[in-house]
């Protein structure tokens, strides 16, 4: 894979200020081929770690967690150097460790929206050196691409796992910390927020800080699929968080490298590389 995937000083500055940046041509043709093949491999994998969301009119979204463990191609992509270099470069850290990776597979036709949310309450980590890289397999217009609330990474608030501020919606049952405040209802009060979005093509990467509010809009009948690989990575100073309820286990636990995630609350993940493996750069 080409070494051209390093980030520029301007991209780092935009990421630090806005919390998000579009990196054009982050992957070379070989990386794009691995991306598309890998998303298809993970989509077709037969196990219980896929979530299928159904909506009206036949809308369907398939989400598979820990996708690299079901796809040799996605594993090769993450081990190729570009992914780790982008993440460590934006975070300005010596290395980047894998927190979670997923595929999002929305077939041609009706597209379900993704409710506005933070990733943070679903995770076992807390802190600033945390970035999500979103790699699309298909062209996606900004109206359907992941959107973020500019600057929300600096609000210093972790919201509960409820999708919006509706008190009747509450948090996702048994997940994260129930005492966290509800998230703002971005969809309902969209004009009150500064929202960033981009037209993206295969090979591009949308990078945003892991604490940002983000979501996507739906569509009654899009003429092509929307497939993407998304990976969350943290710097070695990121801290482990032991939540009150359920949360995504560490990649090392899922791989069988650890019996459990009995890591001291507040410990640096850099000291637990068996739980959160380093992404090669």
pLDDT digits (tens, 9 = 90+) for 44-101: 987 766 787 665 566 678 899 999 999 999 999 999 999 999 999 999 999 999 999 9
Report residue 103 as tokens.
Answer: 């595929």
SS (H, E, C) the chain: CCCCCCCCHHHHHHHHHHCEEEECCCCCHHHHHHHHHHHHHHHHCCCCCEEEEECHHHCEEEEEECHHHHCHHHHHHHCCCHHHHHHHHHHCCCCCEEEEEEEEEECCEEECCEEEECCHHHCCEECCCEEEEEEECCCECCCCCCEEECCHHHCCCCCCCCCCCCCCCCCCCCECCCCCCCCCCCCCCHHHCCEECCCECCCCEEEEECCCCEEECCEEEECCCEEEEEEEEECCCCEECCCCCECCCCHHHHCCCCCCCCCCCCCEHHHCCCCCCECCC
The region of weakest confidence among 27-41, 70-84, 102-116, 244-258 is 102-116
- The pLDDT value recorded for residue 167 is 41
Binned at pLDDT 50, 70 and 90, residue 165 comes out as: very low
**12-31: average pLDDT:** 97
- For 211-245, how does the pLDDT look when each residue is reduced to its tens digit (9 = 90+)? 999 998 877 777 778 899 999 999 999 999 999 98
- Judged against a pLDDT cut of 70, whether residue 121 lies above it is answered with yes
Binned at pLDDT 50, 70 and 90, residue 166 comes out as: very low
- The pLDDT value recorded for residue 162 is 63
- The pLDDT value recorded for residue 169 is 41
- The pLDDT value recorded for residue 224 is 78
């Amino acid at each position: 894979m080409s070494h051209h995937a390093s980030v520029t000083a301007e991209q780092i500055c935009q990421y630090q200020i806005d919390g998000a940046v579009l990196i054009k041509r982050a992957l070379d043709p070989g990386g794009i081929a691995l991306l598309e093949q890998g998303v298809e491999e993970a989509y077709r994998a037969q196990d219980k770690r896929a979530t299928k969301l159904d909506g009206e009119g036949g809308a369907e979204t398939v989400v598979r967690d820990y996708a690299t463990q079901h796809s040799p191609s996605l594993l090769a992509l993450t081990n190729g150097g570009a992914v780790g270099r982008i993440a460590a470069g934006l975070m300005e850290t010596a290395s980047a460790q894998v927190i979670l990776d997923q595929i999002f597979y929305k077939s041609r036709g009706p597209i379900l929206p993704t409710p506005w949310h933070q990733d943070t309450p679903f995770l076992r980590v807390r802190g600033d050196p945390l970035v999500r890289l979103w790699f699309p397999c298909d062209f996606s217009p900004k109206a359907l691409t992941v959107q973020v609330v500019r600057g929300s990474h600096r609000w210093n608030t972790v919201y509960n796992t409820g999708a919006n501020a509706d008190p009747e919606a509450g948090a996702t049952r048994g997940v994260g910390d129930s005492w966290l405040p509800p998230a703002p209802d971005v969809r309902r009060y969209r004009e009150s927020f500064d929202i960033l979005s981009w037209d993206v093509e295969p090979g591009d990467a949308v990078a945003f800080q892991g604490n940002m509010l983000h979501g996507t809009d739906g569509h009654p009948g899009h003429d092509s699929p929307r497939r993407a690989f998304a990976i969350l990575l943290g710097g070695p100073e990121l801290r482990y968080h032991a939540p009150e309820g359920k949360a995504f286990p560490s990649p090392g636990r899922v791989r069988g490298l650890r019996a459990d995630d009995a890591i001291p609350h507040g410990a640096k993940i850099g000291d637990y590389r068996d739980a959160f493996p380093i992404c090669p750069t």
